[in-house]
């Protein structure tokens, strides 16, 4: 009987030690996992902008005053990033009411029928120490095609900086075949995004050196 009680005591003690080890291991694993949590970034709309440029006999360039954008990651690996941009086409601002009305019309953005211009990336490919290709789906006038933003990353400090990218497309491939009276317009359109970003949570991103 004494031997049985001693065996039970030793067995119970062994179970407690095993439980403590499992708890410590799980705690260490959880801590390691949390230390590699996906970065959380915020784009500051007040200091960011989206602009466009079209070569023409009279300057056609301007900004979009209303838009939303987000940059999300599923891990610290920069390649997991997803950039979402949603622009209100009617918010185009060239500084000229005549040109703005023409760009909003069905000949160009057709803002009443398709009020949003969007871009959603499929991946981020680091091509150099601070350069990236960001391929994705670009939609304007309800027409979607694969386009690529070429980004540069100017990190001003830890977790904060500027990302600036340009995407060029042929307007006629999206149904914008008309012109503006007395103005010669090229087919190539350049859209530039200039975002000020800051990491507000999660782990730092991992970049190639």
Question: Quick one: average pLDDT of 105-111?
Answer: 94
- Residue 6: pLDDT band (50, 70, 90) is low
Summarize the confidence of residues 35-57 as an average pLDDT: 90
49-105 per-position pLDDT tens digit: 999 999 988 889 999 999 999 999 999 999 999 999 999 999 999 999 999 999 999
159 vs 1, higher pLDDT: 159
* Average pLDDT over every residue of 40-57: 94
Q: Which residues 6+ apart lie within 8 Å of 152 measured at CB?
A: 130, 131, 132, 163, 164, 165
Tell whether the model's pLDDT for residue 34 goes beyond 60.
no
> In this structure, are residues 47 and 161 in contact, taking their beta carbons and an 8 Å threshold?
no
Instruction: Give DSSP secondary structure letters for 23-63.
Output: HHHHHHHHHHHHHTPPPEEEEEEEEEEEEEEEEESS-EEEE
Beta bridge partners of 160: 157, 198
| Token pair in block for residue 113 | 């029928």
Q: What pTM value is reported for the model? A: 0.79
Residue-averaged pLDDT of the chain: 83
- On the CB side of 167, CA atoms within 13 Å amount to 24
123 versus 12: the higher-pLDDT residue is 123
* Nearest one of 78, 57, 83, 53 to 68, comparing CA atoms: 83
The three-state secondary structure class of 16 is helix
β pairing state of 67-72 and 131-140 = unpaired
pLDDT of residue 59: 82
* pLDDT > 70 in the chain, percent: 80
């Amino acid at each position: 009987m004494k031997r049985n009680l001693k065996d039970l005591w030793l067995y119970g003690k062994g179970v407690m030690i095993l439980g403590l080890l499992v708890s410590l291991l799980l705690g260490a694993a959880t801590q390691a996992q949390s230390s590699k949590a996906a970065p959380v970034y915020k784009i500051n709309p007040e200091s960011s902008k989206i602009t466009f440029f079209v070569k023409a006999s009279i300057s056609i360039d301007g900004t979009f005053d209303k838009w939303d954008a987000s940059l999300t990651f599923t891990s610290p690996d920069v390649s997991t990033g997803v950039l979402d941009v949603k622009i209100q086409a009617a918010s185009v601002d060239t500084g000229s009411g005549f040109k703005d009305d023409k760009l909003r019309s069905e000949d160009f953005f057709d803002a009443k029928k398709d009020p949003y211009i969007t871009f959603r990336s499929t991946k981020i490919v680091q091509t150099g120490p601070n350069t990236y290709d960001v391929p994705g789906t670009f939609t304007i006038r309800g027409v979607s095609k694969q386009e690529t933003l070429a980004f540069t990353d100017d990190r001003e400090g830890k977790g904060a900086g500027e990302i600036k990218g340009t995407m060029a497309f042929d307007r006629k491939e999206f149904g914008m075949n008309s012109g503006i009276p007395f103005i010669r317009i090229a087919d190539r359109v350049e859209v530039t995004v200039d975002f000020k970003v800051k990491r507000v949570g999660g782990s730092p991103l991992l970049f190639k050196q």
